[in-house]
């Protein structure tokens, strides 16, 4: 509702909203700037490309990235199936891999979709979990079972490509790694299996390369995010600005909204400068 109100307000200001337009496929940024008559572009494409475990069996039916699981369940209203025609597997036994806020969200949504058992599998201990304390508390309170110091090794199917189980290995903590957290080390011979029918890797997300691949002259940092000036969102390419998760990496709504406001002012200044000559602002 709040988002709808914001969108309506922006439309009332005179903004034309073009939906179903994937930039980098339908048009490139260069086409928008050089052929379609746009004077500036603001890239706010987020960090929506989910990361996976990279273990055998990750393509079995029943393995969803947290993004897909939450998008289907909530945004596409699969919880109202068949009133809404988005299918989602109604899970009985679920394992969520990871321990950030999105992992907690996914585990709790799985419970609310009717799962009998939801495990949260994490390779370190609770002390190292990146999720907010409140999220951890609420997940436990709602009945999520934490399986700590455990890492998945491979998924197993029923012979027809449907997820049946996950094989895991126990871990122990060694010396701190570059993140400052103690490094998890596999305990040899400690493999065991858990029966599950849905698995949800919730390992974070990164920049989707779709649009960025069509902008070879845009400078990215070593993690693949756009390098932009903090105060203006100005990038290495003239007329191209960027903000939100695509600059900071996965962060928060409030930071993305703040960037949008700052960059809007900077684009306004840029356009004034672009169309300013000695006699004043040039009418277009
Ligand atoms: C499950 C989950 C829970 C979260 N919970 C919270 C929370 O509780 N509080 C909080 O503050 N933050 C939360 N976050 C983080 C928050 O959602 C992001 O930080 C924020 O949405 C980033 O805003 P953004 O505008 O940069 O990108 P996004 O909100 O990701 O928007 C990017 C948009 O660009 C579109 N897009 C991408 N590529 C293209 C393209 N090539 N062409 C056209 N359009 C494109 C996408 O479809 C998307 O609509 C959560 C994130 C996730 C995944």
Protein residue whose Cα sits closest to atom 43 of ligand 1:
22
Closest ligand 1 atom number to CA of residue 105? 1
CA of 84 to the centre of ligand 1 (A): 23
> What CATH number is given for 50-204 in this structure?
3.50.50.60
What architecture is the 2-47+207-279 domain classified under in CATH?
A: 3-Layer(bba) Sandwich (3.50)
Mutate which of 253, 257, 264 for ligand 1 pocket (most atoms within 8 A of beta carbon): 253
User: Residue 279 — very low, low, confident or very high, per pLDDT cuts 50/70/90?
Assistant: low
What are the structural domain ranges in the chain?
A: 2-47+207-279, 50-204
CB 111 within 8 A of CB 142: yes
Sort strands 163-176 and 182-186 into parallel, antiparallel or unpaired. antiparallel
Closest ligand 1 atom number to CA of residue 106? 1
155-207 pLDDT per residue, tens: 999 999 999 999 999 999 999 888 788 899 999 999 999 999 999 999 999 99
Closest ligand 1 atom number to CA of residue 102? 1
82-101 pLDDT per residue, tens: 899 998 888 899 999 999 99
User: Residue 284 — very low, low, confident or very high, per pLDDT cuts 50/70/90?
Assistant: very low
Does 50-204 match 2-47+207-279 at the fold level? yes
């Amino acid at each position: 509702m709040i988002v709808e109100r914001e969108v309506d307000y922006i439309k009332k200001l005179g903004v034309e909203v073009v939906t179903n337009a994937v930039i980098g496929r339908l048009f490139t940024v260069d086409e928008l700037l050089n052929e379609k008559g746009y004077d500036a572009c603001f890239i706010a494409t987020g960090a929506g490309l989910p990361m996976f475990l990279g273990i055998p069996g990750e393509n079995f039916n029943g393995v969803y990235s947290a993004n897909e699981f939450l998008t289907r369940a909530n945004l596409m209203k699969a919880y109202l199936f068949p009133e809404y025609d988005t299918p989602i597997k109604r899970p009985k036994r679920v394992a969520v891999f990871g321990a950030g806020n999105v992992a907690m969200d996914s585990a709790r949504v799985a419970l609310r979709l009717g799962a009998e058992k939801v495990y949260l599998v994490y390779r370190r201990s609770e002390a190292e979990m990146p999720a907010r304390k409140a999220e951890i508390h609420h997940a436990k309170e709602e009945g999520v079972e934490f399986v700590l110091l455990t890492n998945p090794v491979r998924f197993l199917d029923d012979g027809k490509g449907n997820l049946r189980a996950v094989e895991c290995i126990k871990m122990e903590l060694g010396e701190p790694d570059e993140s400052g957290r103690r490094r998890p080390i596999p305990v040899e011979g400690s493999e065991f299996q858990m029966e599950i029918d849905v698995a949800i890797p919730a390992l974070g997300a990164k920049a989707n390369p779709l649009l960025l691949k069509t902008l070879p002259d845009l400078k990215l940092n070593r993690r693949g995010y756009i390098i932009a000036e903090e105060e203006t969102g100005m990038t290495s390419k003239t007329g191209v600005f960027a903000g939100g998760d695509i600059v900071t990496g996965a962060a928060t709504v409030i930071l993305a909204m703040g960037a949008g406001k700052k960059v809007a002012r900077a684009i306004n200044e840029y356009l004034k400068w672009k169309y300013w000559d000695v006699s004043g602002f040039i009418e277009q």
